[in-house]
Chain A
Amino acid sequence: MGKTEYKRLKGSQSFRLRLLLSTLTSIPVLIEDIRADDTWPGLRSHEISFLRLLETITDGCHVEINETGTKLKYKPGVVMGGKNLVHDCGLNRAIGYFLEPLLVLGLFGKKPLSIRLKGITNDLKDPSVDTFRLTTLPILKCFDVQEGLDLKIESRGAAPNGGGEVLLSVPIVRDGLKAVMWKDVGMVKRIRGVTFSTRVSVQFENAMRHAARGIFNRLLPDVHIFTDHKAGALSGKSPGYGISLVAETTSGCYLSADTAVSYGQRVEEGAFNDEENNELTPPEEVGEHIASLLLGEIEQGGVVDSTHQGLLFLLCALCPEDVSKVRVGKLSPYGIETLRQIKEFLGIEFAFKPDPSNGTVILICIGSGMKNFARKMS
C-alpha cells in the first residue's frame, strides 16, 4: 500500500458536502480544527451519525477521529447502496440533515438505495421531510433521475425526542445526470402543502392552514394544504406542529418554505436547558409566517428557492461535460458555500451573469463528467 494523500481542510463548515464530494471523487480528506476553540470542542453527535451513515452505505471507507474529536481522517469507500438499510439519525439534527447528501450519494451507488431513517421529521433548522417529498424530489427529476425516487413518511417525530420514520428510495443513474437549461421561472400556477401535528389537537393544523390560505387568497385560487394528523405510535415522542408549502410554476419549478414548532428546542450539546421558556409561536402566526416566506421566495425569481440553491449547483456540477444554465435569486450563504466546495473538490468554477431586469443571477457551468464509478466496478 502506498501512502494516502489527504486533502487538508479546516473546521466543521460544509461537513456533509465535503464528505459527499470526497466520496464521489474518491479523494481522502483530513479535517482539522473542528471547533477547536469551542467550550465543547470537536465533532457533534449528528456529524458522527453522518459518518456512520456513510459507513452503512459504502464499502471500504475508513474513519479515524482523534481523542478530542477535533481532527478527522476520512478515506472514502465505494457507494454500494442496497436494500433494507436502517439508520438512526439521532436527535441532534433532523432527518433532513441526512437526506440531502444521501439523495445525491445514492444516485452514484452500485445498487439502488432503500433506507429507513429514524429521528426528527420536522424542525426549525433542516428542511422538513415534507419539503423533500414536495420540492426536493421534483428538482432531482429535472436532472433526468429515473423512476424509483420516493420518500414515504411513515411516522412523525417532533423535537426534542423524535420518534419519526421515513423510507427513502433512490435509484442509480446509469450514465450520469443530464445537464439542464433552466432559466424560465414561469408563473406560479398552484400552491400545495401539508401541515402536521403530533400529540396536540388537530385544531392547530386547521389554524395554520387557515392563516396561510388567508395570505394566498388574493393571489391564487388553486391552493390546497392537506393535514396529516398523526395519533398513537405514529406521532412520535414529542408534541409539535408545523407546515410545509410548495409553489409550483408553469415551467416546472418548485419553491418551498417550511417550519415546525415544538416544546424543548434542542440546544447545542454541552449546554443544558430546562424546558422553561416554552412559549410556542401560535399556529396562526406560524401559518402566516411560512406563507409570507414562500411569497418572499417567489419574489426572488429563481428556479429554486434559497434552501435548494446548494443542491441545484451540486447537481449541475455533477453533470456530464455539458453546459448547464440556471437562474437563481439572491445567492444564499449555503449556495455560496456549495460553490466553493465544488471548486475545491471538482475544480469547477461557475460563471455568473446577473440579470438586472429582475435582480436574478444566471449561473453557468460545465459539468465534471461524474460517472457512476461504483456501478462499473464489478
Chain B
Amino acid sequence: IHLGQNKNLRQLIYGRRESKLTSSTDDVQGSSEDEESDEGEFFKPKGEGIKSVREDFDGDNVNNDDCSKFLNHADVKNWIEEEKYESIRDRFVTGDWSKAGRSGQDSD
C-alpha cells in the first residue's frame, strides 16, 4: 500500500545518524584539546541531556537502557474475548491451513 514505506523505514533506522556514524573513528591519543573544549559545556543546564529524548523509537538518548526483553506491552489485548482470539485462529494448526499457507509465502 505505501510505496514509500520501504524508504521510510530505512531512513528511520539509519538515516538521521548518517553523519554521526561516518565521523566516529577518531584518533584518541591526541585528544587533549578535546578535553579543553569540554569546559565550555561545564555549566550546561542539567535537563539538556534529556531534551533530546524524543520518541523511544528514535533511540537518540545515548544512555538508553540496554535491555533486549520487550517491555512495552501497553497494548495487551483482552484475548479472552471471542472476537480477539478468533482473529488469530489461522495462525494455529487448528485454523484454516490454506490461509496460513498464503500468508507464510513470500511474493518474491
Contact = CB atoms under 8 A, between A and B. Distances in A.
Interface of A: 3-17, 30, 33-38, 73, 96-97, 100, 124-127, 183-189, 215, 218-221, 250-251, 289, 291-293, 295-296, 298-299, 301, 305-308, 310-311, 325, 327, 331-334, 336-337, 339-340, 343-344, 349, 351-358, 361-362
A187 B91 contact: yes
Contact of A188 (B61, B91, B104): B91
A352 B2 CA distance: 13
Interface of B: 1-2, 5-6, 9-10, 12-14, 17, 21, 24-29, 46, 48-50, 56-57, 59, 61-73, 76-80, 82, 85, 87-95, 97, 100, 103-107
A292 B77 contact: yes
Contacts of B82: 218
Contacts of B2: 354, 356
B5 to A, nearest CB: 5
A344 B80 contact: no
Nearest to A34: B63
Contacts of B61: 11, 13
B28 A292 contact: no
A126 B68 contact: yes
Contacts of A351: 10
22 contacts: A3-B27, A5-B25, A5-B26, A11-B63, A13-B62, A13-B64, A34-B63, A37-B48, A184-B104, A185-B103, A189-B93, A293-B73, A298-B91, A299-B91, A306-B70, A333-B57, A333-B72, A334-B68, A336-B59, A352-B6, A352-B10, A356-B1
Contacts of B104: 183-186, 251
A188 B93 contact: yes
Contact of B91 (A221, A289, A301, A349): A301
A293 to B, nearest CB: 6
B71 to A, nearest CB: 7
Contact of A127 (B68, B78, B92): B68
Given A349-B10, A354-B9, A355-B106, 14 more contacts: A5-B26, A6-B26, A6-B27, A12-B64, A12-B66, A13-B66, A124-B71, A184-B106, A219-B92, A289-B76, A295-B85, A299-B88, A310-B68, A333-B72
B82 to A, nearest CB: 8
Contacts, number: 182
Nearest to A295: B79
B6 A30 contact: no
A8 B80 CA distance: 50
B20 to A, nearest CB: 9
A189 B13 CA distance: 34
B94 to A, nearest CB: 6
A298 B103 CA distance: 13
Given A187-B93, A301-B91, A356-B2, A13 B9 contact: no
Contacts of B91: 185, 187-188, 298-299, 301
B39 to A, nearest CB: 14
Nearest to B75: A296
A127 B10 contact: no
A215 B92 CA distance: 14
Given A220-B94, A357-B103, A30 B28 contact: yes
A125 B69 contact: yes
Contacts of A354: 2, 5-6, 9
Contacts of B26: 5-6, 8
A262 to B, nearest CB: 16
Contact of B63 (A3, A12, A251, A325): A12
Nearest to A299: B88
B59 A305 contact: no
B62 A12 contact: yes
Contact of A215 (B17, B46, B79): B79
B24 A344 contact: yes
Contacts of A339: 13-14
B88 A187 contact: no
A38 B63 contact: yes
Contacts of A327: 106
Contacts of B25: 5, 7-8
A35 B100 CA distance: 47
A325 B108 CA distance: 11
A333 B59 contact: yes
B58 to A, nearest CB: 9
Contacts of B65: 13
A295 B88 contact: yes
